[in-house]
Amino acid sequence: MALYAELHRHLGGSVVPRVLWRYFQRNRSNLIEHFPGYLDFEDFYTRPRNTLDEYLELHTMVESVQTEATLPYFVYRLMRGAYVFENLAYLELRYTPYLRTPDHLSQSERIEKMSEIVDIVGKASQIGEYPIEMSQILCMHSRLPYEVNRAIVDLAVAHPHYVCAVDLAGGDAHYRDRLDEYVKLYDYARQRGVNTTGHLYETEEGAYPELLPYLMRIGHGIQIPLHYPELLPQLAEQGQCLEVCPTTYLKTGTLDDLQQLKVVFDRCFEAGVDIAICTDNAGLHNVRLPFEYESLLTQDIISFQQLQACQDAAFRHAFAWKYEQRPERILSDILRPEADDDLDLMVGETSTVG
């Protein structure tokens, strides 16, 4: 049995349509009364959008129902689904904690409340029956003021047991005017020992070489191999990994065809830049991680060996995976200690972990 690591998943986009529909039926039926039935809702929720901005609007709908009181409900269902249907052994879940605090409070009260949200998500994710290693990535957001984003970095510093990194989200076309601020925030995060990733080079408007030196991983980054391949050697040297989320690019209108990703994988492999394949918004897309893998394989975008290399890379670049080895190797040592050599032959060919 293979077990996987997911490095790029948003809490807001991780609710599968069926779970959200049930939640609305039970608690907020006014929000779905204009949908004749579930299938109409699913179609609305999962249909492709024209732009990244339009797509991100959908997140606000889910954010509005993910409150202090309901987060345990959603996180429990997400962990259960990830374990049972996706074989995840490791999950980094990202969100903007400020956007889960009550919006009638003042900015400073909302900042204060953020640490409760981190605790709620952390506790809700630790479920004995579904043993996935889970850690949170806190997203700074381009719609939020500097003070809030700085408080998000401070929150990451203060909660290392629940939080493994910070991110920057909100649509990569919107960073330009405040770029100095983001450079400062990332610099501050690195100085405080916080791991970093960031939504960058996702769309053609998202090229900010100024931010690259501060990132340990790059959220998406597909425009680099597509349009700035001269940057790849620098990424390889820095050991920066791209978090590539195939279905997203079709849903946001960033790519027309998944085949365009072949260049992304080929150029990265050639330059020695690691790629972790991720879902971004598995619920919103209704596409789980094993299907992302399978779809890249069946469309001949990557080979089986490349898939295994990407799966290895995901564990290697995971901020909070504490083990030297992939989990199936650990399991195998326990279950079939005498069969070590067989497993080496099975997973060792392209593996650099364990």
Structure tokens of 232?
């790849």
Nearer to Zn ion, 172 or 274 (CB): 172
Query: Smallest distance from the beta carbon of 10 to Zn ion, in angstroms?
Result: 6
Structure tokens of 255?
């790519």
Q: Provide the residue count of the chain.
A: 354
> Does the protein bind Zn ion through residue 167 (CB under 5 A)?
no
Query: Smallest distance from the beta carbon of 245 to Zn ion, in angstroms?
Result: 7
Nearer to Zn ion, 59 or 329 (CB): 59
Q: Strand, coil or helix: what is 116?
A: helix
> Does the protein bind Zn ion through residue 172 (CB under 5 A)?
no
> Does the protein bind Zn ion through residue 243 (CB under 5 A)?
no
Q: Which helix (H) or strand (E) holds 5?
A: strand 4-10
Query: Smallest distance from the beta carbon of 73 to Zn ion, in angstroms?
Result: 23
Query: Smallest distance from the beta carbon of 283 to Zn ion, in angstroms?
Result: 13
Query: Smallest distance from the beta carbon of 248 to Zn ion, in angstroms?
Result: 7
Question: By CB under 5 A, what part of segment 265-304 binds Zn ion?
Answer: 280
The dihedral through the CA atoms of 28, 32, 38, 42 has a sign that is negative
SS (H, E, C) 137-180: EEEEECCCCHHHHHHHHHHHHHCCCCEEEEEEECCHHHCHHHHH
List helix spans (H) across the chain: 17-27, 38-46, 52-65, 71-86, 107-125, 146-158, 179-191, 223-227, 232-238, 246-251, 261-271, 282-285, 289-298, 304-317, 327-335, 340-347
> Does the protein bind Zn ion through residue 328 (CB under 5 A)?
no
Residue nearest to Zn ion (CB): 280
Nearer to Zn ion, 56 or 347 (CB): 56
Nearer to Zn ion, 261 or 347 (CB): 261
Query: Smallest distance from the beta carbon of 60 to Zn ion, in angstroms?
Result: 15
Query: Among residues 221, 159, 152, 215, which one has the least CA distance to residue 186?
Result: 215
Nearer to Zn ion, 134 or 347 (CB): 134
Nearer to Zn ion, 218 or 347 (CB): 218
Cβ neighbours, 10 Å, residue 209: 12
- 95 within 8 A of 135, measured Cβ to Cβ: no
- CA 215 to chain centroid: 15
Place of tokens 């990569």: 172
Rg, the chain, Cα only: 20
Query: Smallest distance from the beta carbon of 142 to Zn ion, in angstroms?
Result: 13
Place of tokens 């980094």: 92
Nearer to Zn ion, 223 or 351 (CB): 223
Size of the site for Zn ion (CB under 5 A): 1
Query: Smallest distance from the beta carbon of 167 to Zn ion, in angstroms?
Result: 8
Nearer to Zn ion, 5 or 111 (CB): 5
Residues near Zn ion (CB under 5 A) are 280
